[in-house]
Structure formats: structure tokens, C-alpha cells
Amino acid sequence: MSNTYYVYMLSNSSKMLYVGVTNNLERRVYEHKKKLCKGYTRKYNLHQLVYYEDTDDIGRAIEREKQLKGWRRAKKTALIETINPGWKDLAEG
């Protein structure tokens, strides 16, 4: 049985960014939207899913999360805009 792991980025109206990793993207985004997660995402109202990618290897997902967290904002923004130029909430609908 294969698992899927997601590296994702959340944003808010000010375009602040948060990078995370999960094995259940739908559940995790729901938790962020309902402010069930204490900390940075709740404090800054980061609830819009603006980017995600998936893999079947948890090690690769964690490695990619660390890589993205190490990037400067401009590089993260460019990555987001390759698939989501309007910064729409990919979890809506």
C-alpha cells in the first residue's frame, strides 16, 4: 500500500508564507482554516493553500520541506506563481 505525502505552502491576504508537510492535505488545510493549529499559522491567519506537491516518499517530502523553508521569499514566490499566478486558494471548492 502506497502513501502520499504533501509539501504545501499557505498564505494570507498579506502574502505571508508558511511551508509544511503532511500525509493528509485535505485534513491539514481544514485544521489551518479552522485555526485548530496553534502557533504561526493561527497567529498570522495563514489559511489559503497556494502551492503543494506530492511524493510517495516521506524522506523526500521532509527534505523538500526543509529545502523550501531555506529559500528566500522571492524564490518561493516564483515557485508559487508557476502554478498559481493569482495566488488563489487551491483548497476552495
CATH number of domain containing 53: 3.40.1440.10
**Digit-coded pLDDT (tens) for 39-48:** 999 999 999 9
88: in domain: no
Task: For residue 30, give the C-alpha cell.
Answer: 481544514
Domain of residue 23, residue span? 5-83
30: in domain: yes
- Please check the confidence at residue 93 and state whether its pLDDT lies above 90: no
Strand ordering across the sheet containing 48-55? 17-22, 5-11, 48-55
**Digit-coded pLDDT (tens) for 17-36:** 999 999 999 999 999 999 99
User: How do beta strands 17-22 and 5-11 pair?
Assistant: antiparallel
91: in domain: no
CA 58 centroid distance within chain: 15
62: in domain: yes
Q: E strand or H helix at 73, and its extent? A: helix 73-83
* Number of domains, the chain: 1
12: in domain: yes
69: in domain: yes
Encode burial over 53-78: b for 16+ CB neighbours within 10 A, e otherwise: eebeeeeebeebbeebeeeeeeebbe
**pTM, entire model:** 0.94
